[in-house]
Every structure is written in structure tokens, then in C-alpha cells.
């Protein structure tokens, strides 16, 4: 079965420092990959998606992710964390009719 | 444009009771999905409607769960009778196009947090 693995359940960074949230996917011929964010009491919001075009994908709020086929990774990064980035982040892959999610990474931003 | 809405936002019931969750998709979206996140675990697919037809219900846990989408608009998910392990957050999503593998986005609602005591 196709799967997505988020390597860290919690990540803590200081405000203004870089963010790295890690995601690996099981090998597939052509995955569609997504990053979603969920702020407290809000729905899942799409940050960015990879669909076999450019390997470096830019999303909203300054986030980006790089698709690395050789490493089967799709890590999410941001150069400088803001307090408003504190949330839970989900890596996911698109199947034909459904999305398969990782277990989520809670990002804490320390002032 | 209104997003996907879900009602209620929270529900606390006792074991053995019945609960019905509602999802209103984005207007015009034929595809509607239900997902569930049990505490600490990943968000898991439950089922997929295209208009009023169930396309895939392979993720439904058991026959205590019944999903309907009469008229192809809003959907309900009924749990009867509820058990302790049904506690979690139930998400609804909708999309205009079916092919998530092609990168077509599913738009998610805020979820319903269900607690079974």
C-alpha cells in the first residue's frame, strides 16, 4: 500500500529560525504529494502540492517543499518561522480517489 | 465562496447513543469524501461519494457507520450505536474533479470532534 511517513511528531523552533518538517513517501511511479496545515479549530488548508512538474514547489505563507525522487522525500521548509506558523502539518499523497495522510507534525514556535 | 462546512463542531455522547454528522460541500462539487482521525493517528479515508452514489466505502470501519448523500448535495454520517473507539475528528472534503493523483485538490472542512463516553 502507498504510504506517507512523517518522521517527527513534534518540532520546536524559535521565531525567526528556519523550519524543516520531514516527509517520506513509499515509492511510486508518479506520486502527487501535498502538504496541509491545520490551525486550531480550523479545517485542513492546502499549503502546496507537487504534481510532477517543478521539483521545488512554492506554497502559501513562504513555505516550500522539494521533491527528491532519489530520497523519496518531500520535506517542507520555511526560511524564517513566525508565531502564526504554530499548527499541525500533514504530508499527504493523492491516490486515484482518496488522499493518504501522514500522522502529522505539530510545529511549536517559541518567541 | 463558502467553503466546506460541517455540523456540529463538537459532539459528546454516551456509548450506545446515536450521532449524526453533517457535511455541506462546496457548491457544485460532485465529489464528497469523509475522513476520520482517531487520537494520535493519521487521518484515514472512510468513503467517497460522486453525487449521490457511493464510489468507494472501503474505509468504513463497520456496519455501525452509515453515510448518505441524498440528492447529491449535503451528506450525513450516522454512527449507531456509538462505541468508545469511535471518538475522533471526522473531516469532510469535497472536490470538483475526482483525480487526486493528478493533483486535483480536495477542500476540507473544519471537522467534527466526536467524543464517546
Average pLDDT rounded to a whole number, residues A42-69: 89
How high is the pLDDT of residue A1? Answer: 63
Distances (CA, A) of B114 to A16, A24, A97, B22, B89: 36, 30, 25, 12, 6
Specify the long-range contacts of residues A53-62, CB closer than 8 Å, at least 24 apart: A59/A35, A61/A85
Cβ within 8 Å, pair A50-B48: no
- Count chain A–chain B contacts defined by CB atoms under 8 A: 70
Tell me the nearest-neighbour CA distance from A79 into chain B, angstroms: 25
Inside any domain, residue B19 = yes
User: Residue B44: inside a domain, yes or no?
Assistant: yes
Q: Which residue of A has its CA nearest to B37?
A: A103
User: Whole domain around residue B80: which residue ranges?
Assistant: 5-97+107-116
Residue B106: its chain A contacts at CB < 8 A? 99
B79 domain-assigned? yes
A4-39 pLDDT, tens per residue? Answer: 999 999 999 999 999 999 999 987 666 789 999 999
Which pLDDT tens digit goes with each residue over B10-67?
999 999 999 999 999 999 899 999 999 998 788 999 999 999 999 999 999 999 999 9
* % of chain A exceeding 70 in pLDDT: 95
Structural domains of chain B, count: 1
* Domain A4-110: homologous superfamily in CATH: Immunoglobulins (2.60.40.10)
Using pLDDT thresholds of 50, 70 and 90, give the confidence band for residue B99. low
Contact between chains at B110 and A43 (C-beta distance less than 8 A)? yes
DSSP string over B26-69: -TT--EEEEEEE-TTS-EEEEEEEETTEEEE-TT--STTEEEE-
Q: Chain A residues with CB inside 8 Å of B98's CB?
A: 96-97
Residue that is written with C-alpha cell 518538517 in the block:
A21
The size of chain B, in residues, is 117
Q: Where are the domains of chain A?
A: 4-110
Q: What is the pLDDT of residue B18?
A: 97
Q: In this structure, are residues A5 and A25 in contact, taking their beta carbons and an 8 Å threshold? A: yes
C-alpha cell of residue A49: 502540492
Please, which pLDDT band fits residue A111 given cuts at 50, 70 and 90?
Answer: very high
Per-residue model confidence (pLDDT) at position A83: 96
Q: Is the pLDDT of residue B101 over 60?
A: no
Grid cell for residue B83: 462505541
Chain-centroid distance, C-alpha A33: 9
Euclidean distance between CA atoms B96 and B74, whole angstroms: 14
CATH number at residue B47: 2.60.40.10
Identify whether B102 is part of a domain.
Answer: no
Instruction: Give the mean pLDDT of chain B.
Output: 91
Amino acid at each position: 500500500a502507498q504510504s506517507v511517513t512523517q518522521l517527527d511528531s513534534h518540532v520546536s523552533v524559535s521565531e525567526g529560525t528556519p523550519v524543516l518538517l520531514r516527509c517520506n513517501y513509499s515509492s511510486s511511479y508518479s506520486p502527487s504529494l501535498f502538504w496541509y496545515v491545520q490551525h486550531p479549530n480550523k479545517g485542513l488548508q492546502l499549503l502546496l502540492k507537487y504534481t510532477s512538474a517543478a521539483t521545488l514547489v512554492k506554497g502559501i505563507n513562504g513555505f516550500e517543499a522539494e521533491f527528491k525522487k532519489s530520497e523519496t522525500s518531500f520535506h517542507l521548509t520555511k526560511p524564517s518561522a513566525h508565531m502564526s506558523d504554530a499548527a499541525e502539518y500533514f504530508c499527504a499523497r493523492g491516490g486515484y480517489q482518496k488522499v493518504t495522510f501522514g500522522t502529522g507534525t505539530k510545529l511549536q514556535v517559541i518567541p | 465562496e463558502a467553503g466546506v462546512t460541517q455540523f456540529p463542531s463538537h459532539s459528546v455522547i454516551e456509548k450506545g447513543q446515536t450521532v449524526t454528522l453533517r457535511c455541506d460541500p462546496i457548491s457544485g462539487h460532485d465529489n464528497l469524501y469523509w475522513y476520520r482521525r482517531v487520537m494520535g493517528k493519521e487521518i484515514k479515508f472512510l468513503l467517497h461519494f460522486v453525487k449521490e452514489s457511493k464510489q468507494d466505502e472501503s474505509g468504513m470501519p463497520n456496519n455501525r457507520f452509515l453515510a448518505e448523500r441524498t440528492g447529491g448535495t449535503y451528506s450525513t454520517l450516522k454512527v449507531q450505536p456509538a462505541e468508545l473507539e469511535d471518538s475522533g475528528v471526522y473531516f469532510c472534503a469535497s472536490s470538483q474533479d475526482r483525480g487526486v493523483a493528478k493533483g486535483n485538490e480536495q477542500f476540507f472542512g473544519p471537522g467534527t470532534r466526536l467524543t464517546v463516553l
